[in-house]
Structure 1
Amino acid sequence: MSVRFLEKISVSRSRFFLVGVLCIGFTVLYALNAGQDVNFDQRNYHFYDAYAFLNGRHAVDVTAAGVHSFLNPLPYVIDFLLAQHFSPVVTSAIISAVQGLNLLLVFVLCERMLVSASAGTRFLLALAATLMAASSPTYLAELGTTFSDAATSILVLGGVVLLVHVPAGVRGSGAWQTAFGGFLVGAAAALKLTNAIFALAVVPMVLLGPKWRNRYISILLLACGGVGGALLFGGAWHFQLWQTYGNPTFPFYNQIFASPEFPLENIRDHRWQVDGLWQAIYGPLQMAFGVQSTNELDFRDARYLLLGLVILGALTAYGVRRGSAAKVDTVADIDRIRERLMLGRLGAFFIVAGGLWTVLFYIQRYALPLELIAGPLIVALIWQSSTSLILNWRVPVAVSLVCALVLVFWNETYSWGRVPFQDAWYELPDVPEFNGPAAYLVVDKAEPISWLFTELDPESRIYRLGSLPIEKGGTFDRKIREGLASPPGGIVRLVTVEGTNEEGDLALHRYGLSKKACRHVRTTFETLNVCTLIDRTSAGVAVENGIEVGKKMLFADGLNGQLLKDGWSRQESWGVWTEADTATITLDTGGIESPLSGLAIHFQPFFGPGMEDQTLRVLINGKRVASWELIRISLPQYCCEMIVPLPDAVEPGQEIEVEFEIAKPTSPKSLGLSKDDRPLGIGLIDMTILAESLCPSMQELTSSSECTPIRSNN
């Protein structure tokens, strides 16, 4: 008897609409109860990227949202337009309603997989899977927010639904399902690069089927659809990046594309990395009990642990079934083969995508589609176990519902930042500093203030330093200098966030500017320090490129380069790295008459993956005056400010030789970070000669220092 596998399995229209209303109603009510979304990334780049795309700001602004300025802006355009034209309540309701389609797709995915069950049983089991998906902490945390994960996951789930149920043939419905499924996951990958793991994970899905001769054609159809989706939703954007910077994913994966506008390294968040195979294995146990290794905020989710237990149960049931002589009728046998084929496809997708996520990211948000399809996997495995043991349909339904309720009551979600709903999303302070056109020089590393730029005069220009390295003479540097030479309205202002202003002076020196007047401006979220700037020459201010008591000696962009002797690398936009185990600076204090007491040294140790400490010794005129063991705190690069005393033998007017000894200089290349083979130790930012009246006690220093010296020997 010939049997056609995976013919169309319809979902009742009435059930479809009923579940759709329930899913969307739930997500909207949850989002409105949670409050207005003001998450860090929204303030940092979600709104600005959309604003820049719609208004052509990439041609005039420079890295206004840091590295995120170059992400595909399409996922954020609709959210931004909604926020511009509707209240936060209406905007959140619309966003969450769209995000509710994820749950509807989970329902369809599960119901269409259980072909051997009766219509009523399929409905109850699919509801259990949907309830499991709705208990996802990541999904709940993103409802009503501008994160793109819960929007692009709709495309991923849509592709999975089509490819799980694709018929065996490569003509008619089988062909278009394969091609369109590839199109959806290709579009998801183009809109958010981290979704590329799901585009790869659908490949084994089309390789699983009853007819080998069709698999090559299926792969071709899948690839054509995937490329089409990627080109439609990301081709123009990535081609623009390629033309402008020589890297279609700029600044990411620059170790591959080697754009001259960014160091030859691949950007990766080193906070989240799986620490070997053992951690990957017991990771589900950590998530189940709230041990955080994949997320910034606390959450608890037992779905992966539950999935592992269900897999063990299914394997046991399969072993018992193989040892039984029980028979089933031909039609039921065929239905179960079809179910196992679909379960195999979904399982293959889950395993490949989960493995890639573990190795490449290990960041919880990026695994959202896996959290959602874990429910259908659990339910399908429970159903397969029950049919193997020939159990009554009530057993798998009861077990599935109990599992769903366990997840609902056990799991704990989190919030990326919410406030009670306001009349408007953001409001620009009504102050002269933000009225009218101007050029804004913004100096900080990662403060989420790019939302502010969407509210400024459209003629204004934003030049942001600190997040991306701005190479001297490069494209960004030239654009900044041209803009500062003829600023809009003839006004240049410096914007820094209070408490993070240490690089402000460096930016001023770099572009020959000086502060004229400053004031603090309070926004909804931050206190900003806003200064009106003037040209240093017209202000009669000398460039700090020499030695003076109490005055910072900067080492960026060629400043004070004559003081650097052996052991130093090339000077960069922020300072200079050591590239040996010893590095020397010579200070000629001729002309200084006041008694000298010490040196204030501002630097950053190089900490790569796996490097937890670094030992630094300082010698003055051959005598060791300090030895520090620097402990890595939380970031790969962490600024420190230390004070070393001068030996009593050092007198005013005498030459001072400062020697740094680094115990473990390490190259980024040896750590797999980039092709940079320089043995880096510390990055020197600035140094100050202190008189007795300017030198704080060591007790005051260690209590206020960002990087505490664990051991100091004078």
Structure 2
Amino acid sequence: MLVDAGRALMRMPDLRSAVDRHALPICLLLGAIGALFLRQDSSWDLRNYHLYNVWALLHGRLTLDLAAAGLQSYFNPLLDLPYYLLGMGPLAHLPRLLAALQGLWYGGMVFVLLRIAMRLADLQGRAFGAGDLFAVLIGATGTMTVSQVGLSSNEMPLAMLVLLAVYLLLPLCAEDPVERAAQRVLLAGLLCGLAAGLKSTAIVYSPALACALLVACVGRAGTWRLCLLFVAAASGGFLAVYGWWGVKLWSLTGNPVFPMFNQVFHSAWLPPVSGTDIRFLPKTAGQWLFYPCYWVFKNQWLVTETRFADPRYALAMAALAVLAASAWFRRKQPAAGGRALRLLAVFVVLAYVAWLRLFSILRYVIPLEALTGLLLLLAIQALLVVAGKGRSSRSWLAWCMAGIFLVSVYCSHYPSWGRADYADTVFHVRAPAVEPGSTVLLIGQPLAYIIPFIGNAESSQFIGLTSFNQHAGNYRLNALVRERLHSHQGPIYALLESNVASGAEALQQWLPGAQFAGQCEVVSSNLHNRRYDDANLRLCRVLQH
């Protein structure tokens, strides 16, 4: 029966009408169901800063607290507002509904990817078919993509914005002039700029897409003007959502992107270093050249913290090589949709190179993962032309893409970033109160998400004692921490998740002679991931000599 259904799908002359009618509700429904099935987010980032940063914004804590969530305390909190406001407000007692709503981002991203595939088929002058559908499925089932469904890390809305920008620019690759080309370019640039402003890890996509547009439309009148419009719109979008936050950081620290790129801005708070996470950068010449080939088999701490395997990236690298060779040998007779092919290929290559140099953290590259299936589709088309499968190319294409899809899913190992079973409330956190006017020290990470649930939190100050402080050395940040501790006249508490003995040892580095008073109180949380944490969360009163 499954074989017959597969053959029927391969024989379908055109899926376009069915996709046009039903794609959006189906994509959104699958996204909601997928997020609901995967359960509630309890990832490290959520517990570290996604909740705390919004609480700090709403309560004006930027100048009151000191790095309570480590270096992430100074990230733009704007994108975290919806999840926080819904989870702490109208959906506080409806955790499943909140999870389903978070899954809509994935559904929206898949729908945009589907529209890109349809537009690409139009530009090639052919009908949208089963091969295109499998190309979308290959990208939509990538390990980073699926593992991020429903999470508050916001990789999915960023991916949707970037892919939507690609979709808007594809019509410019048509042979005939496109109406409202400037409007398309302006909107695409705005979307990329918004993505970069909302989360700095998306900064690689704007310049990559601007260069891809230039290469795809080279030789046409007005191309430079369109590229400049794109850059202007991207800059405007970035400033619209990040400018206000950059001004706050500049006023406080002297660095508008603090703590990043401090080797450029030289804030007195930190040493002149970049601040970016370099743990996952390639370490050998082989990795720099063929990093995706290392991800085919199960690995951990290579380009991500958790164990995973994914062949899509290596297959996409091979597809790019095939496309480059095909373009060279057919340079006198360019293939249909050649400009669109150049747009996608140049965008993926440039964004990948920038990502490789800056981050090499795989979950930041979901827009490229989503496009891997389309790159494979284009490469298979080129190979079928060489093999002389002209008349039966559509059937061959569908079967090849179906096989690649099955192999990709079978060989993938999907990572887990931390999920929790549903509780009565979204954030089922029970923390004791501290005395008004207290100083609360957060020893280690991730702990800052507890702060909004501590009694009298608004009248207290919170100071993070983390590895971020250790890297600050003798600079202004650590001087401020010591000034606050030695000038404080009220009660002092310590929030920790390690055992009390190790917490007391860490405390000695900042308050020599201090000790915990009596029995520490336990903090309960439905987000506390006991697979990684050695003990329950505790809030301890600190006594100083």
Residue 108 (structure 1) aligned with residue 115 (structure 2): yes
Matched residue type, 2:160: I
Whose strand fraction is larger, Structure 1's or Structure 2's? 1
Q: Distance in 1 between matches of 2:383 and 2:475?
A: 66
| Equivalent-residue separation in structure 2 for 1:247 and 1:375 (angstroms) | 40
Correspondence for 2:369 among 341, 353, 371: 371
Structure 1 pair 310–206 and aligned structure 2 pair: CA distance change class (3 A): closer
Question: Does the 8 Å CA contact 2:323/2:378 hold for their aligned counterparts?
Answer: no
Q: CA 1:218 to 1:344, structure 2 compared with 1: closer, same or farther past 3 Å?
A: same
Q: What's 1:217 paired with?
A: 225
Q: Which amino acid aligns with 1:150?
A: M
Once residues 143 and 59 of structure 1 are traced to their aligned partners in structure 2, the CA distance between those partners, rounded to angstroms, is 34
Residues 417 and 183 of structure 1, relative CA distance in 2, 3 Å threshold:
same
**Equivalent residue number for residue 399 of structure 1:** 400
Corresponding residue SS for 2:522: strand
How is 1:670-709 mapped onto 2 (pairs within 5 angstroms)? Answer: none
How far off is 1:522 after superposition?
A: 4.2
- What value does the CA root-mean-square deviation take over the aligned residues? 2.9
Amino acid across the alignment from 1:129: A
CA contact 1:439–1:483 (8 Å) conserved in 2: no
Q: CA deviation at 1:467?
A: 3.7
SS at match of 1:441: strand
State the identity as a percent: 24
For residues 185-238 of structure 1, give each alpha carbon's deviation from its aligned partner in whole angstroms, at most 9, with x where no partner exists: 111111111211111211222212153431221121011111111011111111
In structure 2, the partner of 1:15 is: 19
Task: Sort the Cα spacing of 1:400 and 1:529 in 2 relative to 1 into closer, same or farther, 3 A.
Answer: closer
Q: Residues 44-443 of structure 1: matches in 2 within 5 Å?
A: 44-85=48-89, 86=91, 87-115=94-122, 121-166=127-172, 172-207=179-214, 208-209=216-217, 211-292=219-300, 293-311=302-320, 336-337=335-336, 339-387=337-385, 389=388, 390-392=390-392, 393-429=394-430, 431=432, 434=433, 437-443=436-442
* Paired residues of 2:119 and 2:170 also in contact (CA < 8 A): no
**Cα distance 1:56–1:172, how it changes in 2: closer, same or farther (>3 A)?**
farther
C-alpha deviation, 1:528, in angstroms:
3.8
In structure 2, do the counterparts of structure 1 residues 249 and 165 end up closer, same or farther at CA, with 3 Å as the change threshold?
Answer: same
CA contact (8 A) 1:444 1:467 kept: no
Q: Which residue of 1 aligns with 2:4?
A: none
Partner secondary structure for residue 166 of structure 1 = helix
What is the count of residue pairs matched by the alignment?
A: 507
**SS of residue matched to 1:508:** coil
Give the deviation of 1:475 after TM superposition: 6.6
**Which structure features the higher share of helix residues?**
2
Quote the offset at 1:268 in angstroms: 3.2
The CA distance in 1 between the partners of 2:328 and 2:257, in whole Å, is: 49
Structure 1 letter corresponding to 2:377: V
Change (3 A) 1:438 1:521: farther
> d(CA) in 2 for partners of 1:440 and 1:17?
58
Rate the CA distance shift 1:56–1:101 in 2: closer, same or farther, 3 A.
same
CA contact (8 A) 2:447 2:496 kept: no
Distance in 1, matches of 2:260 and 2:329, equals 51
Alpha-carbon distance in 2 for matches of 1:309, 1:514: 59
Equivalent residue of 2:308, what SS? coil
Q: How does 1:303-702 map to 2 (within 5 A)?
A: 303-311=312-320, 336-337=335-336, 339-387=337-385, 389=388, 390-392=390-392, 393-429=394-430, 431=432, 434=433, 437-445=436-444, 447-456=445-454, 457=456, 458-469=458-469, 474=476, 477-478=479-480, 481=483, 490-499=490-499, 500-501=502-503, 502-509=505-512, 515-524=516-525, 525=528, 526-533=535-542, 536=544, 541=545
TM-fit CA distance, 1:319: 8.2
Counterparts of 1:532 and 1:366 in 2: how far apart (Å)?
40
Q: 1:321 to 1:463 in 2, by over 3 A?
A: closer
TM-score after normalising by structure 2: 0.85
- More moved, 419-428 vs 256-265: 419-428
Q: Indicate conservation of the 8 Å contact 1:441/1:463, yes or no.
A: yes
Larger of the two Rg values belongs to structure? 1
In the TM superposition, residue 177 of structure 1 has moved relative to its aligned partner by 1.0
* Paired amino acid for 1:95: Q
Instruction: Output the amino acid matched with 2:371.
Output: I
Contact 2:35–2:102 (CA<8 Å) still a contact in 1? no
Deviations 1:265-303 (A, max 9, x none): 122334212123322333222212223421111112111
Q: Secondary structure at the match of 1:468?
A: helix
Does the Cα contact within 8 Å between 2:63 and 2:252 map onto a contact in 1?
Answer: no
> Which amino acid is 1:250 matched to?
F
Deviation at 1:308, TM superposition (A): 3.7
Residue 46 of structure 2 aligns to which amino acid in structure 1?
Q
